[in-house]
Amino acid sequence: MKGILYARVLRVRKDWKSLVFWMLFPLLLTFLTSKIVGFWGEDSKIPIGIVVEEESLLSNGLIEKLEEVSYIDVKLLNEREAINQLEKHELDSVFVLHNRYEEMILDGKRNQLIDAYSSNRSYAYFAVKELMTSFVQEDVSRMRAAYEVKDLFKEYGSDEEWNWEEIVQVSVEKQETQQLLQTNFSYQNQTIEIEEDEVLPVFNIWGIWAFFSLISTFFIFDWVIKEKRDELHIRWLFTSISFKYYAIISFALYTVIIVLVDLLSLFILNQVLMQPNSSAFWISFLFYKFVISLLAFLVVNVFKQSLMYYVSTFGFALILTLLSGAIIPIDGLTTQWSWIKYLSPITSLIAEQIPFVWLVILLGWFCIWYMKGDKLHA
């Protein structure tokens, strides 16, 4: 055991720069990616100018709806300033809410409520215009419905009296609390169970970290290829231990060190990116690290050339990340083929579960590898 530790120390002394780099690689790249995506999201917002000639409840409500849209940057300006910025191409488009905006909506009118201006570089003008039209149409429809309800009260002589504001408020609450365009069907006298699957968010931060962690783990375990070179491998003929025993002990040492470094890295990411985690996540993290370390150890034993190993494992890591849905959502595929979620251990980390399928497969592979024997064991 002391001899193994001494041999590993000698190896680390030689390659310590590379080892430190790959251990910090997931932390640095995850932080950099999150910042790049954040800056890109801010810069990619569509700047539009809103001119409000007369403030009202409905005009303020329209502006609030636009500000809630993640890809729109709303700027409240006067008309002269807005047109000036549009001509300088600082704004994509300008929309002017007339001074009778609320009054016309209350009367059920939906035409000539807003004046719209664009330039020859307004790439999102029509999209934003349609979005605003849908918001205005929503308000107009509510007002019409409110007056219809009031007419029904009068027609049927109801004693209960609601004003249009109360009716509109009720319709808004119904829309927020109920999925009006989604329903469930079943056969007569047959009940169905509704399962709500958690949708993985786009660019899941822990999925990105898992991808970089997988790459770094593969590259850290390239020591197996270096140790298996013919000029070095022959020395096991003159030792009392086998190469496989040495490799297993080294695998355990590297795994422990990697887990400790990644625990510190995740703690830093939690503090910097404000991403709190549950106890289930940390349990899933430990199993994930063991699985990918064992995967890297077994895969590297298949290769003899470092270049082919680096290229193949990078592509393999990218495929596993895509199958997890961490970068591109695959909810449609998992709905149709539920077994897809077992194809990547990253999925288990994101879902805060234990990758039992990968554990069974890799432990079985490890047993086969170990029982094959070691030809160079004297």
Stretch (H or E) spanning 117: strand 114-118
So what's the pLDDT on residue 201? 42
Distances from the Cα of 189 to the Cα of 185, 186, 192, angstroms:
12, 8, 10
Distances from the Cα of 321 to the Cα of 289, 312, 342, 359, 377, angstroms:
15, 14, 12, 18, 38
CATH class of 45-175: alpha beta
Report the Cα 169 to chain-centroid distance in Å.
35
| Domain map (residue ranges) of the chain | 15-39+201-371, 45-175
d(C-alpha 159, C-alpha 185), whole Å: 37
The answer to whether the CB of 127 falls within 8 A of the CB of 72 is no
So what's the pLDDT on residue 199? 38
- 128, two tokens: 């934003």
d(C-alpha 376, C-alpha 369), whole Å: 15
So what's the pLDDT on residue 378? 40
d(C-alpha 207, C-alpha 26), whole Å: 11
The answer to whether the CB of 108 falls within 8 A of the CB of 139 is no
CA atoms within 13 A on the CB side of 37: 13
Residue by residue, pLDDT tens for the chain (378 residues) are 555 555 556 566 667 787 888 888 888 888 888 777 655 555 567 889 999 888 888 888 888 888 888 778 889 988 889 899 999 888 989 998 888 777 787 776 667 778 888 888 887 888 888 888 888 888 777 777 666 666 666 666 665 565 556 655 665 555 555 544 444 545 445 544 544 443 334 457 888 888 999 999 999 988 888 777 766 566 656 566 777 877 888 888 889 999 999 999 888 888 877 666 778 888 999 999 999 999 999 999 888 888 899 999 999 999 988 888 777 766 666 667 777 778 889 888 888 888 899 999 999 999 998 887 555 444
d(C-alpha 216, C-alpha 257), whole Å: 13
- 177, two tokens: 């609390």
Report the Cα 74 to chain-centroid distance in Å.
26
Nearest to 301 by CA among 374, 190, 224: 224
